[in-house]
Structure 1
Amino acid sequence: MKLSHEERIQLHEFNNLTKSLSFNMYDICYTKTREERESYIEYIDEQYNADRLTKILTHVSDIIGAHVLNISKQDYVPQGASVTILVSEGPIVEVPTDHFDESPGPLPSTVTMHLDKSHITVHTYPEYHPHEGISTFRADIDVSTCGEISPLKALNYLIHSFDTDIMTMDYRVRGFTRDINGRKLFIDHDINSIQNYIPEEIKDEYDMIDVNVYPQNIFHTKCKLKEFDLNNYLFGYTKDRLEDDEVDEITDKVKMEMDEIFYGKNIPRP
């Protein structure tokens, strides 16, 4: 059902729907030597340490109009970091009239909303292939909200906060609320794809696949960069330092890594 702003659903009491967004990003790099690999991991740990991740998640809280209750953050040894933010209903100045428009969210600006209790988390996972020189950094962010506005409003900001080769996103609406007549509502807004909330300029840069289960209000989108420049996957040097056969070999390895992550399966090596 498509509702105009004048036809907004009147609820019996509070909106009890839980809306959860899981955003996963992958950065891939070719690190030929142990020294290169260690330097890359050190760079990633510095670039995405707990303090910077806390700033990103705090901006997400601002975007969805949440009030921060508590922040827990940790940098790990030898690498990786985690941040968890507990948030509650913030001061409600005005609920935006476009709160369910199928459009990208702010980048960033504050959006006020009716929000009860929620949490936002991020975990990072640097890792590397033991033999083939591929290092991969993954960050997982989860935004779970109760109330009127979807956490998809923070998606635009999250995409722009990370240097991303591969993205996978899951959005799910759980539970139910009731209208004034007691009728259950298992979703309170129209959505046919997470892509509705991704800017056109971003969609132009990525190949995208949707896997959606509409009766269960489950939406999944994965994205892979279309353009490939090997220089973006070398750490500390450019491909002009390599022989032609090295360029071809490294290109094949990096593209293989990207395809396996994108399609979610191992591809047989030649």
Structure 2
Amino acid sequence: MSITPEQRIQLHGFNNLTKSLSFNMYDICFTKTKEDREAYIEYIDEQYNADRLTNILKNVSDIIGAHVLNVAKQDYVPQGASVTVLVSEGPVVEVPTEHFEESPGPLPDSVVIQLDKSHITVHTYPEYHPYEGISTFRADIDVVTCGEISPLKALNYLINSFDTDIMSIDYRVRGFTRDVNGHKLFIDHDISSIQNYIPDDIKELYDMIDVNVYQDNIFHTKCKLKNFDLDDYLFNLNKSQLSEEEKAEITRKLRREMDEIFYAKNMNVDP
């Protein structure tokens, strides 16, 4: 629903609210040999190198209506990459038309959005278990805006930019701004759950849990992929090459890894 000029709250000066979206994703696979594990790391570093990550963050900037001021990027040795993009005010070329249960924040009447003191970052962390054959790729993306537009507008794009088995998503509105009478505003849009900004076809793929602290404008949603096809989790291997016992054991290890990440705790480990 659009907001008419009569419905908009008149602020005293700049909107000082800081809106932070932290998107944490995991890709999990089984790598049978040490050579496979090293090849997986090499594959991830190639797929998600600093140049590709930079393009993803620039697209995020376009989606939220920001202007890129500066880009710092780095591929690391032995593995991983980081990109930081500083953004400022910029024109909104097109407002996304996806239907959500809640608005991702008030939209401006003019084509210029104040997004000073804002940034978008990504860091990647490929790694593997020392002896069980489990390899994981983690990416942490933070979108922080100061002004009217919420980074939640970019959430759908981010989900579709990564091959994601587990997601942990945090959204928080910090600080306050004032209306023309000096009254403090600690949030400038309605929100009850991050899930309301995720399209239904995506939500159907995941089991989801919310942990929200409404009085502090803190929202958390974690997601685990529902369907499990072993072939989707094997690197340089397919299940037709495995015995029934091997398939059962690898499946157990993969599911335990996913559960441990989803619930953020170690499960029982065989001695």
- What is the TM-score when the length of structure 1 is the normalising length? 0.92
Q: How does 1:59-70 map to 2 (within 5 A)?
A: 59-70=59-70
Match of residue 179 from structure 2: 179
In 2: Cα distance, 1:140 partner to 1:93 partner: 27
Match of residue 48 from structure 1: 48
Alignment of 1:198 onto 2:198 = yes
In 1: Cα distance, 2:96 partner to 2:154 partner: 15
Give the 3 Å change call, closer, same or farther, for CA 70–225 of structure 1 in structure 2.
same
Letter in 1 for 2:38: E
Give the 3 Å change call, closer, same or farther, for CA 99–33 of structure 1 in structure 2.
closer
Letter in 2 for 1:252: R
Give the 3 Å change call, closer, same or farther, for CA 101–66 of structure 1 in structure 2.
farther
Match of residue 31 from structure 2: 31
SS at match of 1:212: coil
Match of residue 132 from structure 1: 132
In 2: Cα distance, 1:238 partner to 1:104 partner: 42
Match of residue 243 from structure 1: 243
In 1: Cα distance, 2:94 partner to 2:113 partner: 7
Q: Are the aligned partners of 1:95 and 1:112 in contact in 2 as well (CA < 8 Å)?
A: no
Match of residue 170 from structure 2: 170
Is 7-16 or 242-251 further displaced after alignment? 7-16
Q: Are the aligned partners of 1:104 and 1:156 in contact in 2 as well (CA < 8 Å)?
A: no
Q: Tell me how far 1:8 sits from its aligned partner.
A: 2.0
Give the 3 Å change call, closer, same or farther, for CA 214–235 of structure 1 in structure 2.
same
Match of residue 121 from structure 2: 121
SS at match of 1:122: strand
Match of residue 108 from structure 1: none
Letter in 1 for 2:262: F
In 2: Cα distance, 1:98 partner to 1:81 partner: 31
Match of residue 265 from structure 2: 265
Q: Are the aligned partners of 1:30 and 1:235 in contact in 2 as well (CA < 8 Å)?
A: yes
Letter in 2 for 1:194: I
Q: Tell me how far 1:101 sits from its aligned partner.
A: 6.7
Q: Tell me how far 1:209 sits from its aligned partner.
A: 0.3
Q: Please give the root-mean-square deviation of Cα atoms over the aligned residues, in Å.
A: 2.4
Letter in 2 for 1:122: V
Q: Are the aligned partners of 1:99 and 1:149 in contact in 2 as well (CA < 8 Å)?
A: no
Give the 3 Å change call, closer, same or farther, for CA 204–161 of structure 1 in structure 2.
same
In 1: Cα distance, 2:264 partner to 2:23 partner: 16
Letter in 2 for 1:235: F
Give the 3 Å change call, closer, same or farther, for CA 169–96 of structure 1 in structure 2.
closer
Q: How many residues align?
A: 264
Query: CA offsets per residue over residues 196-221 of structure 1, 9 Å max, x none?
Result: 11010000000000000000000000
Q: Are the aligned partners of 2:100 and 2:199 in contact in 1 as well (CA < 8 Å)?
A: no
Q: Are the aligned partners of 1:95 and 1:113 in contact in 2 as well (CA < 8 Å)?
A: no
Letter in 2 for 1:89: E
Q: Are the aligned partners of 2:172 and 2:219 in contact in 1 as well (CA < 8 Å)?
A: yes
Match of residue 144 from structure 1: 144
Q: Tell me how far 1:116 sits from its aligned partner.
A: 2.2
Can you give the 5+ residue segments of structure 2 that lack an aligned partner in the other structure?
106-110
Query: CA offsets per residue over residues 119-163 of structure 1, 9 Å max, x none?
Result: 110000011111111000000000000000100000000000000
In 1: Cα distance, 2:97 partner to 2:254 partner: 45
Query: CA offsets per residue over residues 46-74 of structure 1, 9 Å max, x none?
Result: 00000000000000010111111110000
Give the 3 Å change call, closer, same or farther, for CA 100–205 of structure 1 in structure 2.
closer
Match of residue 217 from structure 1: 217
In 2: Cα distance, 1:46 partner to 1:35 partner: 16
Give the 3 Å change call, closer, same or farther, for CA 97–63 of structure 1 in structure 2.
closer
Can you give the 5+ residue segments of structure 1 that lack an aligned partner in the other structure?
106-110
Give the 3 Å change call, closer, same or farther, for CA 125–180 of structure 1 in structure 2.
same
Quick one: percent identity of the two aligned structures?
Answer: 78
Q: Are the aligned partners of 1:96 and 1:113 in contact in 2 as well (CA < 8 Å)?
A: no
Letter in 1 for 2:266: N
- What is the TM-score when the length of structure 2 is the normalising length? 0.92
In 2: Cα distance, 1:95 partner to 1:10 partner: 22
